[in-house]
Amino acid sequence: MVGEDQTVETVYEDTLYDLARKYSLGSEELIRVNPGVDPWLPGAGRKLVVPGRHILPPGPREGIVVNLPEHRLYYYPKPKRGAPIEVITYPVSIGKMDWRTPLGTTRVTGKQKNPTWYPPESVRKEHAAAGDPLPASVPSGPDNPLGLFAMRLAAGNGTYLIHGTNNPIAVGLAVTHGCIRMYPDDVAALFPLIAVGTQVRLINQPVKVAWVDGELLLEAHPPVDAQVDQFAEMLRAAVGDTTVAIHWDYAREVLQKADGVIATVALAADDPNAPAPTPAPAADPAPATAPATPPSDAPAGDAVKQPAS
């Protein structure tokens, strides 16, 4: 696990979109866990939950990992001898319904500052049909949807990019034509760290679990496409042979909310003084449950250091 949750108090000029960018969250992440708050006019003196804790995705901790349901990118720099594993994480936008970001393992094949955007013919047709025709190319500048930095992936014969944006308010949403879109400041920080050839894994993991210090932690996000029936298998994979007291009703509630806030849903059963699991901050239920595929290689409780980002 990495990061920490916070509670912040708004001042009169705040918006949830500005605060999301400040705390490295997608706008929907912050809006989802603060129901009933006007995202444009939250008002002064409003206390907001800022969900900053994240369970690391399953699989190898190397290169770049993008968890699509979570709308989040994780980058693992090459570890230094004797130093803890480090991870840097950022919110991202992903492909919308008819333009899904592909799953699988790929790599960075090229990097470009101040890129020119050449809209694919399919995208130009879509915009033309909507009465918003696009030119054959868009030079670098404030009207370029790629922002100032772009990294090309091998996936799709090079048609997918990790890039910035000229519309930061949409970061964290499923709004792209399949590319991975980042806040301008975030992509500017990540770009110099990434070498051509860096591995990129694009995964679909709506539910993540971790067994840390005798507590079973659960993090659930609105699903892309999976089966909730496998949740129990994930719990067994996380705790192994340890005897635990699982609060099943609360776990189902966390899955139904799918708000991304980490919750403790089980404790080691051999501790008679262990408190009951504590509910996460309240949030409106999500419209769907959050299924998952059980991790096959996800060790829990590794020492992880998160550099400032």
pLDDT bracket for residue 234 (50, 70, 90): confident
CA distance 90 to 163: 12
Q: Which amino acid is it at 252?
A: R
My answer on whether 172 and 88 are in the same domain is yes
Q: What is the tens place of the pLDDT at every residue in 124-154? A: 777 777 777 777 777 888 888 899 999 999 9
pLDDT value at residue 229: 60
Query: From residue 269, how far is each of 125, 210, 254 by CA, in Å?
Result: 59, 16, 21
Task: Return the percentage of the chain with pLDDT > 70, whole number.
Answer: 83
Q: What is the mean pLDDT of the chain?
A: 81
pLDDT value at residue 297: 34
CA distance 219 to 54: 8
Which of these three, 203, 238, 256, is where a domain ends?
Answer: 203
CA distance 165 to 167: 5
My answer on whether 194 and 87 are in the same domain is yes
pLDDT value at residue 281: 44
CA atoms within 13 A on the CB side of 299: 6
My answer on whether 197 and 212 are in the same domain is no
Q: What CATH number does residue 104 fall under?
A: 2.40.440.10
Does residue 32 sit within a domain? yes
My answer on whether 153 and 259 are in the same domain is no
Q: What CATH number does residue 10 fall under?
A: 3.10.350.10
Mean pLDDT of 97-110: 86
Structure tokens at 32: 């989802």
pLDDT value at residue 125: 77
Does residue 111 sit within a domain? yes
Q: Residue 309 pLDDT more than 80?
A: no
Of 54-68, 186-200, 206-220, 223-237, least confident by mean pLDDT is: 223-237
Mean pLDDT of 221-236: 66
Does residue 58 sit within a domain? no
Which of these three, 138, 169, 203, is where a domain ends?
Answer: 203
My answer on whether 288 and 246 are in the same domain is yes
- Provide CB contacts within 8 A for 190, sequence distance 6+: 73, 75, 88, 90, 162, 182
Q: Which of 226, 204, 256 has the alpha carbon at shortest distance from 95?
A: 204
Which of these three, 157, 181, 203, is where a domain ends?
Answer: 203
My answer on whether 27 and 156 are in the same domain is no
- The beta-carbon contacts of 119-122 under 8 Å, at least 24 apart in sequence, are 120/159, 120/177
My answer on whether 43 and 81 are in the same domain is no
Of 38-52, 193-207, 275-289, least confident by mean pLDDT is: 275-289
CA 48 to centroid of chain Cα atoms: 20
- Provide CB contacts within 8 A for 40, sequence distance 6+: 15, 16, 17
pLDDT bracket for residue 121 (50, 70, 90): confident
Mean pLDDT of 78-87: 87
Q: What is the tens place of the pLDDT at every residue in 248-265? A: 888 888 888 888 899 998
Top-confidence residue, 238 or 250: 250
Q: What is the tens place of the pLDDT at every residue in 297-308? A: 333 333 333 433
Give the chain's domain count: 3
Contact 125, 177 (CB under 8 A): no
- Provide CB contacts within 8 A for 277, sequence distance 6+: 247, 250, 263, 264, 265, 266, 267
Mean pLDDT of 50-66: 94
Q: What is the DSSP letter of 13?
A: T
Is the entire prediction scored with pTM above 0.85? no
My answer on whether 278 and 189 are in the same domain is no
Q: Residue 30 pLDDT more than 50?
A: yes
My answer on whether 75 and 157 are in the same domain is yes
Which residues are paired to 150 by β-bridges? 112, 163
Mean pLDDT of 39-59: 94
pLDDT bracket for residue 224 (50, 70, 90): very low
CA distance 104 to 47: 40
My answer on whether 149 and 242 are in the same domain is no
Top-confidence residue, 40 or 302: 40
Contact 109, 158 (CB under 8 A): yes
My answer on whether 276 and 289 are in the same domain is yes
Q: What is the tens place of the pLDDT at every residue in 170-209? A: 999 888 878 999 999 999 999 999 999 999 999 999 999 9
pLDDT value at residue 245: 83
Q: Residue 1 pLDDT more than 80?
A: yes
Q: Which domain holds residue 236?
A: 207-296
Mean pLDDT of 73-93: 92
Top-confidence residue, 17 or 255: 17
- Catalytic residue positions, numbered: 163, 179
What residue spans of the chain are helical by DSSP H?
Answer: 16-22, 27-32, 121-129, 155-158, 184-190, 231-239, 248-257
Strand ranges, E, within the chain: 6-9, 47-50, 63-67, 72-76, 85-86, 88-91, 94-95, 104-113, 149-153, 161-163, 174-176, 180-181, 199-203, 207-212, 215-220, 244-246, 263-268, 304-305
Does residue 1 sit within a domain? no
pLDDT bracket for residue 97 (50, 70, 90): low
CA distance 184 to 165: 6
Does residue 259 sit within a domain? yes
Q: What is the DSSP letter of 229?
A: G
Over its C-alpha atoms, the chain yields an Rg (Å, rounded) of 20
My answer on whether 98 and 184 are in the same domain is yes
3-class SS of residue 246: strand
